Amino acid sequence: MSVSSETQPHDEKSVLELELDHNREAPSLARAAIAGFSENRDLDAATLATLTLLVSEVVTNAVIHPDVEPPGAIRLAARIAQGRIRVEVTDEGSGFTPQPRDPARSDRGYGLFLLEHQASAWGVERQSGNTVWFELSV
Amino acid sequence: MVRPTKFEIREHATEPALKLSVTGELDMNTVELLARHVERSLADGPRALRLDLAELGFMDSSGLRFLIDLYDRSRREDWELSIVRPHDEAATMVLRATGADTALPFEPDGSS
């Protein structure tokens, strides 16, 4: 399993970037990384719990429903600025054209519900893979 | 920083209900361990099951879905499921956010 983490030199520790292997350990590793990233930022317990939950949900969805076949790595990015934390979870393609997520896919269930109700904002973007992002006020 | 998800199930052979205490993080990975353990426990026939989540440190909707399915099964097979509520905010958030905190058979606070 390859896990790498780096911070941007121009803005120390305000950015997290992590690449996770596509497997069932990915949500746990993503939560651990977000916990480390959130340390010493004065987040209250409820915000931290919401952040951890949403990260787990979005990464879980990426593991269960890869948008590319064969599934590549899952990229987790987070940054904090101006009272907001933004998290992006991207399914990396392996040279194949990613298919947009089907919003009608009902088996995504609670993850989507939680994003809808707990995030300040969220969305899906198609770039070099498919990215699900969300923001929380902190 | 690669590490296995923290997770432990302890079985207490109490009567009349079998009690399972679950600690650590309940997610898509660890929920399979819990599902297998519960399946083995129920293999000899339905009996009351008490799931102690008091010390659970995290739960997401993978865990929630398991609890809902287990509750449905208990009603279908006519045995009693009771759940001890987790304390940690990271474990209760998914319950509160979905309304499951009032829909699942949680024991009243303080009863243990």
pLDDT digits (tens, 9 = 90+) for A12-58: 568 999 999 999 999 999 999 999 999 989 899 999 999 999 999 99
Residue A94 has pLDDT above 60, yes or no: no
pLDDT for residue A13: 64
Amino acid letter, residue A88: E
Cβ-defined contact of A53 to B2 (cutoff 8 Å): no
Contacts of B98 in chain A (CB under 8 A): 110, 113-114
Report chain A residues touching chain B, CB-CB < 8 A: 1, 3, 5, 24-25, 27-29, 31-33, 45-46, 48-50, 52-53, 56-57, 60, 63-64, 109-111, 113-114, 117-118
Cβ-defined contact of A60 to B97 (cutoff 8 Å): no
Cβ-defined contact of A57 to B60 (cutoff 8 Å): yes
Q: Could you tell me which chain A residue has the CA closest to the CA of B90?
A: A49
Ranking A134-138, B12-16, B53-57 by mean pLDDT, the lowest is B12-16
**Using CA atoms, how far apart are residues A80 and B78, in angstroms rounded to an integer?**
50
pLDDT for residue B45: 78
User: What's the angle, vertex CA B109, arms to CA B103 and CA B111, rounded to 5?
Assistant: 115
Share of chain A above pLDDT 90, in %: 54
Residue A98 has pLDDT above 50, yes or no: no
ipTM: 0.91
The upper half-sphere exposure of residue A2, i.e. CA atoms within 13 Å in the direction of its Cβ, equals 5
- Higher-pLDDT residue of B9 and A126 is B9
pLDDT for residue B2: 46
Ranking A55-64, A68-77, A79-88 by mean pLDDT, the lowest is A68-77
Q: What tokens does A60 get?
A: 């879980």
Report yes or no: A74 and A98 within 8 Å, Cβ to Cβ.
no
Pick among A3, A53, A89 to test the B interface (most B CBs inside 10 A) = A53
Residue B37 has pLDDT above 60, yes or no: yes
Pick among B25, B28, B66, B96 to test the A interface (most A CBs inside 10 A) = B28
Cβ-defined contact of B60 to A5 (cutoff 8 Å): no
